[in-house]
Structure 1
């Protein structure tokens, strides 16, 4: 079955000069819109193509890759405004419509917005800013430590709200996130915990806590050696400065220097930590 607004694996069933027809099943033959088809493409070959309905109400296929497919979330730039709504650049020649009814707040040409792609009543691809109508709060079948794809949605008092795999909401906590994050940013994250209410807590590093403390301890010793045996940082330093220096949270840093102090590898002074020379 052909899925409109998504990539489909299709068989070439006809060729007329440089034009190709693809088997669209119940939709009939679908024209391959691209002028630059793969070299030596012939009837019987299988290709992966994006299928959608164009402005002339024709079902066509393209080998070009849009920035998002139907049911996916993307950070797209508004390139023009019209009586129908706003138009967003999404990687295909015809811009994507964000109807007035699917907008939140004032849309400004040149700015980017977080949207989800969907099929309207005419099966044409459109965008919506009403993410809460589609993205679910509760997730199932995820496991702690599982890798997921994230898109940053909003900064909150707790941290950052993110879309997980285009389907679910999750939270990255400020106390565990120190690298700069921006709305619309796409990156790989991990499930820290599936809470009893099936909501998702997220992290950006898969490394286990104990392993991270050990790795940080080695990094602290290496940086101390490189800087003449002294670094002006303690467990009272700002989390952002600690992250900029060692790439870890303040909690991990405190555990690491505590362990090094007990091993008598460092001394903790009022304004910094100092390497102990080993006899």
Structure 2
């Protein structure tokens, strides 16, 4: 048995002595406290106890009989319970103390950080000072969980967890186990690391991975966008300084949709005779 007790270990230790507030456990070289609130049983001296070692809120090595959801050699889906931009995010690992995922392991942009309630594929790791941290799972680890998607699942609706941010999109593992790629142009709105998304499969690749979109189908989008334009005009006395000839950049800035999507939505409203256009304005027909 090693003479050094390390955080992150699951190990069997002997009760060396008993105090009112807990048990001091030993491996024969070093002692650690198992507080009574972390103990599940009553012990006598020389009893053996299986414990998980971690650092308490004051940085002291401590023991608990509660086994964590993850270890130094495993990973799982962990829930984010706290966000501190100065430190990182804290995840629930199943013991009394939540584990920090350092800001050094998170994206530079806070807007893409996980929010409270989001979920991350994480394990545990020790830094150079033997401090215990949460550790984001690597792509290769998550890839081992995946299965190939069948060709017939194209256009199917799936739900998945964002586990990696890329320059032009994100990687997702769906509930079915498909590795999915969501390009930024196919995002209805920006997404976060650890966010759960509902998506539509747009393409099944030969390697069994899929491309997905959070945008609605064109027909659904046209209905949705036309309703938005009507609401926009209603809030502005039934008019707006935009038509299907307006500048694409101005349309994108105001409505966050492309000129083509704007024209489709406007075409629907014109066809239904709900609006009319004149002198660079669109009006709701009375």
* TM-score, scaled to structure 1: 0.51
Stretches of structure 2 that go unaligned for 5 or more consecutive residues are 1-35, 41-49, 54-61, 126-131
Is 2:155 the partner of 1:144?
yes
Work out which of the residue numbers 158, 174, 183 in structure 1 matches 2:184. Answer: 174
Q: Which residue of 2 aligns with 1:93?
A: 96
- Is the contact made by 1:214 and 1:256 (CA closer than 8 Å) also made in structure 2? yes
In 2: Cα distance, 1:179 partner to 1:189 partner: 12
The total of aligned residue pairs comes to 203
* CA-CA distance at 1:132 after TM superposition: 1.5
Is 2:167 the partner of 1:160?
no
Is 2:275 the partner of 1:266?
yes
- Relative distance call for 1:165 and 1:260 in structure 2 (3 A) is same
Is 2:124 the partner of 1:116?
no
- Relative distance call for 1:107 and 1:261 in structure 2 (3 A) is closer
Is 2:138 the partner of 1:131?
yes
- Is the contact made by 1:266 and 1:275 (CA closer than 8 Å) also made in structure 2? yes
- Relative distance call for 1:216 and 1:196 in structure 2 (3 A) is same
Give the alignment of 1:239-278 within 5 angstroms: 239-243=252-256, 251-268=260-277, 271=280, 273-275=281-283, 277-278=285-286
* CA-CA distance at 1:256 after TM superposition: 0.9
* TM-score, scaled to structure 2: 0.50
In 1: Cα distance, 2:255 partner to 2:89 partner: 43
Work out which of the residue numbers 199, 221, 226 in structure 2 matches 1:217. Answer: 226
User: RMSD across aligned C-alpha pairs, in angstroms?
Assistant: 4.9
Q: Which residue of 2 aligns with 1:71?
A: 76
- Is the contact made by 2:122 and 2:136 (CA closer than 8 Å) also made in structure 1? no
Q: Tell me, what secondary structure is at the counterpart of 1:160?
A: strand
In 2: Cα distance, 1:276 partner to 1:78 partner: 46
Q: Tell me, what secondary structure is at the counterpart of 2:201?
A: strand
- Is the contact made by 2:242 and 2:282 (CA closer than 8 Å) also made in structure 1? no
- Is the contact made by 1:89 and 1:96 (CA closer than 8 Å) also made in structure 2? yes
